Chain A
Amino acid sequence: MRRLSHSLAVLWVVATLTFVLMRVTPGGPFDREQRLPPQVLANIAAKYHLDEPLISQYLRYMTGLIQGDLGPSYKYLDRTVRDIIISTLPVSALLGILALAFAVIVSFPAGLLAAYYHNSWTDRWCLFLATLGISLPNFILGGLLIWIFSLQLGWFQAGRWGTLSSIVLPTITLGSSAAAYLTYLLRSTLIDTLGADFIRTARAKGLKEIVVIFKHAMRNSISPLLTVLGPLLAALVTGSFVVEYVFAIPGMGRFFITAVTDRDYPMIMGVTLVYSTLLVSANLIVDLLYSVIDPRVKRH
């Protein structure tokens, strides 16, 4: 319960800070190359209550927020912020979950093999691939994958979303740096754990190697990964601007950038709050999972 109220307080702070910051930034939502006549600007300001004092605009927004009304978009005039988020978040979420699944599926065996065969060729190969995954920027990896697998080999679609063929390349692109990061993390944690006394004891007791690895070593190495998994999922699920841009995927990621360049205030608030909520919830869940999985952590 205490955790919950902390989380709500965090969200409130984020909302207020974002509100202030975006109003302070120079440039407004209706600045155009062709400057609008003053009466047109006055009409627009009246429509969106931008002519009211800042504090009443803030209160107006917050009361709306509590009722689930995220306001109109200043850019997409036929839809509300809620409409936009409801239609784009699931796409980003699906891509994010697939990317995370890919990252986990790749990193667990890779981290395990690298740690188990510490300092062998297997280890070096895994490390090399992991370094590559982290250092290659998304837009380069994405472009490369499109060029090789779509244009040259014709195996997958070059972009868009909706068919099985369109899922593969963006998932790999988005998941690769997460996979690399998780591989590194698992490898170093596991190397530590495998060198510990209790592992030697388990082996000395004559336990099968499989049991030693999975029941004892892995279980004790999971917590650093869990810590990271929460925020990682939040970040992946709210969409990557770059991956969605390169692959033309109709997700939410783009709004993190475009809402700011457009100065679409309600949209900026909307996506920031969605991201913060997901992040805060993910951390809450991870906290709870700790006490279940790692016997060293006490439940509150």
Chain B
Amino acid sequence: MRTPYLPYRATTLALCLFLALLSCAPSSEQAQEKVFRVNLGTEPPSLDWSLATDQVSFNVIVNLMVGLTEFDRNLRPAPMVAKSWEIHDNGRKIIFQLRDDVLWSDGKSVRAQDFEYSWKRLLNPSTASEYAYILYDILNAEPYNQGKITDSDLVGVRALDDWTLEVRLKHTAPYFLAITTFEVTYPQRRDIVEKNGTRWTDPSIIVTNGPFLLESWSHEDEIRLKANPGFFLGKPAIDRIEMVIVNENTTALAMYEQGQLDFIDNRSIPIFEKHRLIRQPGFRIVPQLRGYYYGFVTDRKPFDDVRVRKAFAMAIDRRIFPKILHGGEQPINSWIPPGMIGHNPEIGLPFNPSEARRLLTEAGYPNGKGFPEITLGYNTDETHKMVAEAIQSMWKQNLDVLVRLDNQEWKVYLNKLNNDPPHLFRLGWGADYPDPDNFMKLFTSTSGNNNTRWKNERYDELVERAARELDEQERVRLYNEAQRILCETDLPIISLFVTAETTVLNPRFTGLEFNSMARLMLRQVRLTEPTGANPS
């Protein structure tokens, strides 16, 4: 048999090409620069803080900018650009005094007018900001955003002079200072924004005032920041930050273990790897201000009966969640998460299967007999599936009721919750700012986010009073009573656990702050002292 020689020549050629490619090793960085590399996970939808709404965008913005205040260790607002503030008129007027040494990256001073412009832009209906509502406590803010008034001078925020910002609220709002830590309230430069339209966040145009400057933005690929020598608290210890965009968490974890990343969080850690990473140096679990709950639809059978709701709640042993999810999830029976004022671990119904069975019998379903077919809905996701299956088996075991599970893609699921909700549904709730008001307001009868169809006048009253109360102890008292209604007597929801973020920081570095609002603050990151003494 004759062998054609051409295929062999082709093969040799291919082999040579292959070997040539092999010899091209990735070039190593010779820089003396201190570089810190993280994974953002996904492309930030926007770096314009009047339009941004998601974690990823805020994680970039929080390193580019500073605002009136910032969180301290206890998640309270601490002075930043605002060096002090005075509260007048029973909390309805706040006067902020600004520092005069905070500079924009083009050298100009950050002034009160920049805050006034930014807040009015957030509220301007043509900006169509999703977070416009966060400033609705300000006088005339809501009518302005609705288009009912068109003169922005009527909105209750104005610069009295370059260093004084006056804010007038429509009612007392003890949580308003916490709102000033939120990225959407950062100042903006009117001249830059108006001149450049949607392009103003381009690295060559954007003007910022924070610890880092936006050096480059390669979409879907990588964002680079560099230290701002003009930052008012001093130039950061890290010269450059590389924020790569790697969606696939197994790839990102591989990159960390190969030394191509210096920090990873939940975005870069697959669930099944979490238990292995516990032994890594630099491992830390950070509880988040984010609750996970199952809601009952309370206006139809069988969950219109509070005894049935209590039975279902008391048949769940929450200790299982950290075991199956490996993420340091914290079981909780009450609603306000730890770290927020008003958190009270003594509130809530404990795991008590025999009491649960008794209640179910009393409600007319002895040993689960005659119980109608019900559905538990959740949006398609591995974690939600695991939680749902665990709870489904607990209810079968403890109440002898088999619940049907049903899941849809996220947007279809949200749509379904509005139009045709299942008997039980899964949702989460995260804090926009660390104040219990935005957690408790969720279940008032006027809340657009209350899918339980539960109404309780006393609960509404308590939450409203606590929102207008400046005295913290009184607020705690009011929230305690409200939480008792929510988590003990009426129980329209079953609060399950508080999520946590799994993080691993390369021990070469120290000073990284990943807080309970899931913000990645890199300002204080520095190389660990070689002697091993780490001021943490």
Q: Which of A151, A158, A250 contacts B219 (CB 8 A)?
A: A250
Supposing A43-B145, A250-B219 touch, asked if A33 and B14 sit within 8 A by C-beta, the answer is no
Task: Say yes or no for B100: interface residue by CB 8 A criterion.
Answer: no
List chain A residues, Cβ under 8 A from B11. Answer: 109
Q: Which of the 9-residue segments A75-83, A184-192, A277-285, A286-294 touches chain B? A: A75-83
**A-side contacts of B254, CB under 8 Å:** 146, 150-151, 158-159
Are B6 and A210 in touch, CB under 8 angstroms?
yes
Given contact pairs A40-B130, A248-B246, A261-B409, enumerate 6 new A-B contacts (beta carbons under 8 Å). Answer: A26-B416, A36-B448, A88-B219, A105-B14, A165-B26, A248-B244
Chain A CB within 8 A of B371 CB: no
A57 to chain B minimum Cβ distance, whole angstroms, is 16
Which A residues, 88 to 133, have Cβ-Cβ distances below 8 Å to chain B? Answer: 88, 105, 108-109, 112-113, 116-117
CB proximity of B243 to chain A, nearest CB, Å: 13
User: Once bound together, how far apart are the Cα atoms of A158 and B257, in whole Å?
Assistant: 11
Question: Is A4 an interface position by the 8 A CB rule?
Answer: no
A37 at the interface (CB under 8 A from B): yes
Taking a contact as CB atoms under 8 Å apart, the answer to whether B145 and A40 are in contact is: yes
Taking a contact as CB atoms under 8 Å apart, the answer to whether B126 and A26 are in contact is no
User: How far is B362's CA from A250's CA once the two chains are assembled, in angstroms?
Assistant: 59
Asked if A261 and B411 make an inter-chain contact with CB atoms under 8 angstroms apart, the answer reads yes
B25, B147, B201, B248: residue with the most chain A Cβ atoms closer than 10 Å: B248
Tell me whether B250 is interfacial, beta carbon within 8 Å: yes
The answer to whether B415 touches A245, judged by C-beta atoms less than 8 angstroms apart, is: no
**A165 CA to B173 CA, complexed, in Å:** 57
Contact partners of A116 in chain B: CB under 8 A: 4
Which residues, 340 to 361 on B, are CB-close (under 8 Å) to A?
A: none
Indicate if the CB atoms of A77 and B26 lie closer than 8 Å: no
A154 to chain B: closest residue by CB = B258
Which A residues touch B27, using CB under 8 A?
A: 163
Determine which of B25, B245, B247, B415 lies in contact with A26 in the assembled complex, contact meaning CB atoms within 8 Å. B415
- Closest chain A residue, CB of each to CB of B427: A33
Please tell me if the beta carbons of B245 and A250 are within 8 angstroms of each other in the complex: yes
A159 and B255 contact, CB distance less than 8 A: yes
Q: List 15 A-B contacts (CB under 8 A).
A: A25-B412, A26-B411, A27-B412, A33-B428, A39-B146, A40-B145, A72-B198, A108-B10, A151-B258, A158-B251, A158-B260, A159-B254, A167-B21, A248-B246, A250-B220
Residues of A within 8 A of B136 (CB): 37
A34 within 8 Å of B by Cβ?
A: yes
- How far apart are B247's CB and chain A's nearest CB, in angstroms? 5
Beta-carbon nearest neighbor of A31 in chain B: B414
A residues neighboring B (CB under 8 Å) = 25-28, 30-40, 42-44, 46-48, 72, 75-79, 84, 87-88, 105, 108-109, 112-113, 116-117, 143, 146, 150-151, 155, 157-165, 167-168, 209-210, 213-214, 245-248, 250-251, 254, 261, 263
Q: Are B10 and A109 in contact (CB under 8 A)?
A: yes
CA–CA, A27 and B412, complex, Å: 5
Whole-angstrom CA separation of A157 from B221 in the bound complex: 15
**Shortest CB distance B60–A (Å):** 12
Task: Please determine whether B448 and A37 come into contact, CB atoms closer than 8 angstroms.
Answer: yes
Expressed in whole angstroms, the Cα–Cα distance for A159 and B250 within the complex equals 11
Q: Which of B9-42 contact A (CB under 8 A)?
A: 10-11, 14, 21-22, 24-27
The answer to whether B4 and A246 touch across the interface, beta carbons within 8 angstroms, is: no
Q: Tell me the smallest distance from the CB of B407 to a CB of chain A, in Å.
A: 14
B253 to A, closest residue via Cβ: A158
> In the complex, what residues of A have CB within 8 A of residue B47's CB?
78
- Verify B48–A78 contact, CB threshold 8 A: yes
Please, how many angstroms separate the alpha-carbon atoms of A247 and B244 in the complex? 13
Identity of the chain A residue whose Cβ is nearest the Cβ of B145 in the assembled complex? A39
Chain A residues contacting B126 (CB-CB under 8 Å) are 43, 47
A25, A34, A164, A245 — most chain B CB neighbours (10 Å): A34
How close is A246's CB to chain B, nearest CB, in angstroms? Answer: 5
Which residue on chain B has the smallest CB distance to residue A44? B128
Hey, which chain B residues are within 8 Å of A38, CB to CB? 448
Contacts of B198 in A (CB 8 A): 72, 77-79
* Cβ of B411 to closest chain A Cβ, rounded Å: 3
Give the residues in chain B near A247, CB-CB below 8 Å: 251
Q: Which of chain B's residues 223-267 have a Cβ closer than 8 Å to chain A?
A: 244-248, 250-252, 254-255, 257-258, 260
